[in-house]
Amino acid sequence: MLRVLKPGLQSSLQGPPRFGARQYGIPYAGPADSVSMALANRLVGNQPSQTALEITYGGFSALVEADCAIAIAGANDQALVSGQTAPSHQTLHVKAGEEVQLPPVARGARTYLAIRSGFQADELFGSSSTYMPAGFGGVSGRALKDGDQLIPIGNGTSALTLETPAGLKPVFTHNFALRSTPSAEVVALSDAARETLFSESFTVGRQATRMGLPLTGHTLELETDGLMKSAPVFPGTIQCPASGDPIILLCDAQTTGGYPRIATIARCDRHVLGQIRPGDRVTLLERSPEDAAKALEQKEALLKTWLDTPQSGHAFQLY
């Protein structure tokens, strides 16, 4: 059991995406970086999507109120437990009275703190994930505040100490190259704009949220008026409004949108979106759907060597 002392810029409980309710306008939500959350959960013997804490830019601390097994993975490469350095990507057995701190991070954006058996949380449409704009899931549908008590579903302790295999520990920089495919309205771009989209490096704007990452630095020329009938959009969809500054949609993406959908981040790289912060550089690598699917197969096979367990039903997959 943990009590939040400092929530940092934005912390929330996230579990599985809320699949199957987009026809009611309900976004998926869930972790912005599903791989880091799965890695943290793995270290405490949980399923990949068990409810964990998503912490944005570090700057978080909590008091341990009952002994428990926790693990962190993502942007923070270390934690402090009562002032002593504790590594990420390893099961940490923390004792009542200790304080867990995650320092501010310089690279990457989000860190996941998992607890043995997962955290208790509100559920809607079969998911505990917090969707803050509408106020559901997690802790009363909101970002965590100091004083919030986070309680494990079962016994929070574990006898096992595990470590993520070295080859699976992600390293984040300020430059991201993301595989992507052209989407339905890529034809709305001029030839020059299309060339720019898939070759230039963009800078992520300041309004980077769980809903979307604005890309700045290269305004794209649209050959239409930029208006169309609302069409389905998903996490990974890249929209281009009339302003010409594209937006990559993330896990909290709305369900439909009226701007041209010019590209889609390939599923294999979508989890990385959760680690991109304002000022970072993003380059889109154009791929055919077939090549993107092959890259997904390879990445899933690699992750499955560690993340597929009897507890997860050997069913780990990227989304």
Q: For another protein, which is the closer residue by CB, 119 or 136?
A: 136
Q: How far apart are CA 215 and CA 280, in angstroms?
A: 10
As a whole number of Å, the CA-based R_g of the chain is 20
What's the min distance (Å) between Cβ of 136 and another protein? 5
Token pair belonging to 72? 């962190």
| Residue (204 or 268) nearer to another protein, CB | 268
Residues at the site binding another protein, with contacts judged by CB under 8 A: 19-20, 22-27, 122, 124-125, 131, 133-136, 141, 181, 183-184, 229-232, 234, 236-237, 254-257, 261, 264, 266-268, 287, 289-290, 292-293, 296-297, 317, 319
Residue 280 makes CB contacts below 8 A (sequence gap 6+) with 174, 175, 176, 203, 204
Residue 248 CB, shortest distance to another protein, in Å, is 13
Nearer to another protein, 52 or 266 (CB): 266
Minimum Å distance from CB 2 to another protein? Answer: 25
Residue closer to another protein, measured from CB, 179 or 277: 179
- Alpha-carbon distance of 261 to 238, in angstroms, equals 6
The two most distant CA atoms of the chain are separated, in Å, by 62
To the nearest whole angstrom, how small is the minimum distance from the Cβ of residue 178 to another protein?
12
Which of residues 8 and 235 has its CB atom nearest to another protein in the complex?
235
Please list, in sequence order, all residues whose beta carbon lies within 8 angstroms of the beta carbon of residue 312, skipping any fewer than 6 positions away.
47, 48
- Cα separation of 40 and 33, whole Å? 11
Q: How far is the CB of 295 from another protein (least distance, A)?
A: 8
Nearest C-alpha neighbor of 77 from the set 49, 103, 99: 103
